[in-house]
């Protein structure tokens, strides 16, 4: 099964906003409200940042927001901070075959 | 404290078997779906398997279907992954993750490394 498609890298300066896209198909992102996003620092476990397309778990900064349009989901980080530098993964429930897909990951660099 | 702790990883040879464990604490284990997710060195995340809260159902990713088996013991608050006929491409850090009754993962363990070589 193919992974969801994310850009390999994005970058931004402190204070700026960036958006990471995550493209799928009608069998996953387009047909599911179960889209989630994870932040991962090197050598650490992933951390849930967004669930059900656009909901933030308790404790996650409101600088993180997300949405979905058609077969593409997006994560936006506003007011970038140095601590946001990490890898970000999208994930979606899939109605066929493998039930959960991850994106290939996006490395965020804060310049 | 709420946590998941994986164990059982190590270095094994191609074609052999290994069983991973994931000990849960600090929450009502039997109320949650549980998943296994892996990450090959320098690569992205790959979902492997899910088991229903009561163990009544399970599903697998295409890459491990027929070789890996997920199970749980709710009396011991422990999740398992039996891995058979291991291949080099199974080399990865294996994470257990908690899934509320929706398809996302809100709690992750630290992972256990499995290295498969010939």
The 10s digit of each residue's pLDDT in B90-111 is 999 999 999 987 799 999 999 9
pLDDT in tens, B61-87: 999 999 999 999 999 999 999 999 999
CA distances from B113 to A46, B7, B37, B50, B108 (A): 15, 9, 12, 19, 15
For A80, what's the count of Cα atoms within 13 Å in the CB-facing half-sphere? 19
Give me the mean pLDDT over the A64-92 stretch.
98
Q: What is the pLDDT of residue A1?
A: 52
Q: Residue B73 and residue B106: Cα distance in Å, rounded?
A: 20
To the nearest whole Å, the CA of A63 is away from the closest chain B CA by 19
3-class secondary-structure state, position A64: strand
Give me the mean pLDDT over the A68-87 stretch.
98
Give yes or no for a contact between B111 and B95, defined as CB atoms under 8 angstroms apart: yes
To the nearest whole Å, the CA of A83 is away from the closest chain B CA by 20
Q: Residue A58 and residue B38: Cα distance in Å, rounded?
A: 25
Q: Residue B38 and residue A10: Cα distance in Å, rounded?
A: 24
Residue with tokens 């630290």: B110
Q: Do B108 and A45 touch (CB under 8 A)?
A: yes
Q: What is the pLDDT of residue A48?
A: 98
Nearest by CB: B45 against A46, A93, A97: A46
* Site from B49, B104, B109 to mutate, A interface, most A CB atoms within 10 angstroms: B104
pLDDT in tens, B10-60: 999 999 999 999 999 999 999 999 999 999 999 999 999 999 999 999 999
**Contacting residues of B for A46, CB less than 8 Å apart:** 45, 95, 105, 108
Q: Residue A87 and residue A111: Cα distance in Å, rounded?
A: 15
Q: Decide if pLDDT at A70 tops 70.
A: yes
Q: What is the pLDDT of residue B46?
A: 97
């Amino acid at each position: 099964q193919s992974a969801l498609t994310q850009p390999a890298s994005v970058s931004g300066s402190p204070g700026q906003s960036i958006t990471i896209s995550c493209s799928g198909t009608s069998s996953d992102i387009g047909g599911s409200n179960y889209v989630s996003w994870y932040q991962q620092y090197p050598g650490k476990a992933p951390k849930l940042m967004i669930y059900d397309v656009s909901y933030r778990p308790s404790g996650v900064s409101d600088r993180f927001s997300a949405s979905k349009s058609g077969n593409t989901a997006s994560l936006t980080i506003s007011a970038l901070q140095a601590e946001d530098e990490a890898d970000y993964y999208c994930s979606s429930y899939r109605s066929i075959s493998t039930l959960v897909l991850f994106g290939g990951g996006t490395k965020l660099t804060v310049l | 404290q709420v946590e998941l702790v994986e164990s059982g990883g190590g270095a094994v040879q191609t074609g052999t078997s290994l069983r991973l464990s994931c000990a849960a604490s600090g929450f009502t284990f039997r109320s949650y779906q549980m998943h296994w997710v892996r990450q090959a060195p320098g690569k992205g995340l790959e979902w492997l398997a899910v088991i229903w809260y009561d163990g009544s159902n399970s599903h697998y990713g295409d890459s491990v279907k027929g070789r890996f088996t997920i199970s749980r013991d709710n009396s011991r608050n422990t999740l398992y992954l039996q891995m058979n006929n291991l291949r080099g491409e199974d080399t990865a850090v294996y994470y257990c993750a908690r899934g509320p009754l929706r398809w996302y993962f809100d709690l992750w363990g630290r992972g256990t490394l499995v290295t498969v070589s010939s």
